[in-house]
Amino acid sequence: MSSPLAPARPTRLSLAVRDSSTMLRRNLLHARRYPSLTLNLLLTPIVLLLLFVYVFGDVMSAGIGGGGADRSEYIAYLVPGILLMTIGGTLIGTAVSVSMDMTEGITARFRTMAIHRGSVLIGHVIGSVLQSIISVVLVGAVGVAIGFRSTDATVLEWLAAFGLLALFALAFTWIAVGMGMVSPSAEAASNNALPLVFLPLISSAFVPVDAMPGWFQPIAEYQPFTPAIETLRGLLLGTEIGNNWWITIVWCLGLAALGYRWSKAVFDRDPK
Amino acid sequence: MPSSVMPTSRRGDGPQPPAAVSTIGLRKSYGDKTVLDGIDLRIPAGTVFALLGPNGAGKTTAVKILSTLVTADGGQAQVAGHDVATSPDGVRAAIGVTGQFSAVDGLITGEENMLLMADLHHLSKHEGRQVSAELLERFDLTEAAKKPASTYSGGMKRRLDIAMTLVGNPRIIFLDEPTTGLDPRSRHTMWQIIRELVSDGVTVFLTTQYLEEADELADRIAVLNDGKIAAEGTADELKRLIPGGHVRLRFTDPDAYRSAASALREATRDDETLALQIPSDGSQRELRSLLDWLDSIGVEADELTMHSPDLDDVFFALTGGADRTDKKGEAVR
């Protein structure tokens, strides 16, 4: 057998890239072998999309655009929020799979190997962001199938929208990884990550913030989902973005930094 | 017998071979509970060392510290010449660890587990496939290679676990209770595997609660009890720590028991089971004189058993011997 280290000692960065991509392959293999978790999580946003459009659609559309909007306008209003909600859903999967992984012996094995220490988490994060993006594309396709059209978005705006979704997914994935790490079981992880699915319900995803009770409006307006949804709407539909874009970026960078530090601190702690 | 017996290891006889593992005053507590209370070890390279102790003695904690999984509260530990606290990656590059709970990825196949290890050891694709195929073959897993590891039996999982540990060709291998929960056949297979490792020049640090296992495999044994090393030495050295063997006579007739007991003054009486224990070194001469003596007083025992001291005696003597007979039942599997 060969020696464990290649003759030329790899640099720290190349070690990080190599080990992280190995871990990423492992996580993608899991997702491919056991797609049911991912698919189940996709069901929620799709059902909500269909429910709000076809069941509540007439009532809901009366509440936007000063009343008198038709159903297709409500689809346009709803889809950006549903896309971000899709990311919220895949985060449950992230938290669950991280918590399962941390309680498995295989993670203890990784900790005793001379590999890049962060690669276990980085593999989870990148795998989860990729899954989020695929989920967003699938849910977006359902949206397009029922009549969502982005009429006046330029290529640049499409790229910005894509970047926004990816950044949002990255930030919240780090938070979900932290949640998974501190959860003693898969059930606990699923419960801990539940707020990430509820948050979009109290955002501007389904109804405009100014249709909510006055005391509640600041909460709905400044929580991370609303500015992200408004920015996405602006990019895809040409509505007013205002200062939502930088609020979103600040939220995402802040949450990513927080989630990263949190996850790393928990991972560096001695396992039980 | 007191539970703190002086270590029997002889030190300082000529130049020592390089130590694969050495610790000085290693300590660890979880909350109020002291798990390791000053452990000194020195394990020469290329030997098998067994850390023997009951559940909760601190064996797993010792392995976790030496394999860089947890940090010690105090003391020093060097593995393969690297300090576990200051140079954990140096330690990690030299060791392989098979923990008590299987460290395989159950969601992917045995072969994928092996290739994962090959990738993490930065073997080339070709090399990785070759090493993985060789090890799967060696551990009799080729047939199951394409099945998810979660479908494996306990013995197969353990073999896959060790095969994964060997991918990086480690010089020092930690095996935490490698045979716990295995059926007798798998246990013997595991012993064979461990013996083969040693013949390759690997240093093996194993923990076990089975004395038989330590006796079978280890060059040196340390008995860990309550976070302290109660004794250390070769199996023979440990056996010499406790008094010799005995002959046990069991009777069904109380009268015969009583007359034998009064005739054999040096015997230890067990009135409940009508049994006598007579100290004996187990030699033919001593045995014959005992039998002659029984004949001469006209007593016939219903059962005669020889008992030579084994590691069980040492173990129970060192780890609180009062309830030896209870524990003996447990230890016999």
How confident is the model at residue A233, as a pLDDT?
A: 92
pLDDT in tens, A177-215: 999 999 999 899 999 998 888 899 889 888 888 888 889
Q: Which residues of A164-195 are buried (b: 16+ CB within 10 A; e: fewer)?
A: bbbbbbbbbbbbbbbbbbbbeebebbbebbee
Report the share of chain B in percent with pLDDT over 90. Answer: 47
pLDDT in tens, A23-33: 999 999 998 88
Residue B212 to residue B36: CA distance in whole angstroms: 24
Chain A residues near residue B95 by CB distance under 8 angstroms: 112
State how far residue A113 is from chain B, nearest Cα, in angstroms. 5
Quickly count: other Cβ atoms within 10 Å of residue B124's Cβ: 11
Decide: B72 and B13 in contact? Cβ < 8 Å: no
The yes-or-no verdict on residue A15 having pLDDT over 70 is: yes
SS3 B222: strand
Do B103 and A271 count as a contact with CB atoms less than 8 A apart? no
State how far residue B170 is from chain A, nearest Cα, in angstroms. 8
Residue B23 to residue A30: CA distance in whole angstroms: 40
Residue B103 to residue B96: CA distance in whole angstroms: 12
Highest mean pLDDT among A253-267, B93-107, B254-268, B302-316: A253-267
* Amino acid identity at A135: S
Chain B residues near residue A113 by CB distance under 8 angstroms: 92, 120-121, 168
How confident is the model at residue A210, as a pLDDT?
A: 85
pLDDT in tens, A130-189: 999 999 999 999 999 998 988 778 899 999 999 999 999 999 999 999 999 999 998 999
Do B120 and A115 count as a contact with CB atoms less than 8 A apart? yes
Predicted complex ipTM:
0.85
Do A22 and B120 count as a contact with CB atoms less than 8 A apart? yes
Chain A nearest-CA residue for B105: A106
Best of B98, B116, B174 to disrupt the A interface (most A CBs within 10 Å) is B116
**For helices A71-103 and A119-145, what crossing angle results, to 10°?**
160
Question: In chain B, which residues touch A (CB < 8 A)?
Answer: 67-71, 89, 92-93, 95, 97, 99, 101-108, 112, 116, 119-123, 127, 131, 134, 148, 164, 166-170
Chain B residues near residue A10 by CB distance under 8 angstroms: 122
Do A106 and B103 count as a contact with CB atoms less than 8 A apart? yes
E-strand stretches of chain B: 19-30, 33-44, 48-52, 74-79, 82-83, 95-98, 172-176, 203-208, 220-225, 228-233, 246-250, 268-270, 275-279, 303-307
Chain A residues near residue B123 by CB distance under 8 angstroms: 2
pTM of the entire predicted model: 0.81
pLDDT in tens, B135-170: 999 999 999 999 999 999 988 999 999 999 999 899
State how far residue A136 is from chain B, nearest Cα, in angstroms. 26
* Amino acid identity at A225: F
How confident is the model at residue B3, as a pLDDT?
A: 42
pLDDT in tens, A35-91: 887 788 888 899 999 999 888 888 887 777 666 667 788 898 999 999 999 999 899
3-state secondary structure A109-151: HHHCCCCCCCHHHHHHHHHHHHHHHHHHHHHHHHHHHCCCCCC
> Counting Cβ atoms within 10 Å, is residue B77 exposed (0-12), middle (13-18) or buried (19+)?
buried
CA nearest neighbour of A176 among A107, A59, A258: A258
Residue B21 to residue A185: CA distance in whole angstroms: 35
How confident is the model at residue B1, as a pLDDT?
A: 40
pLDDT in tens, B119-130: 999 999 999 999
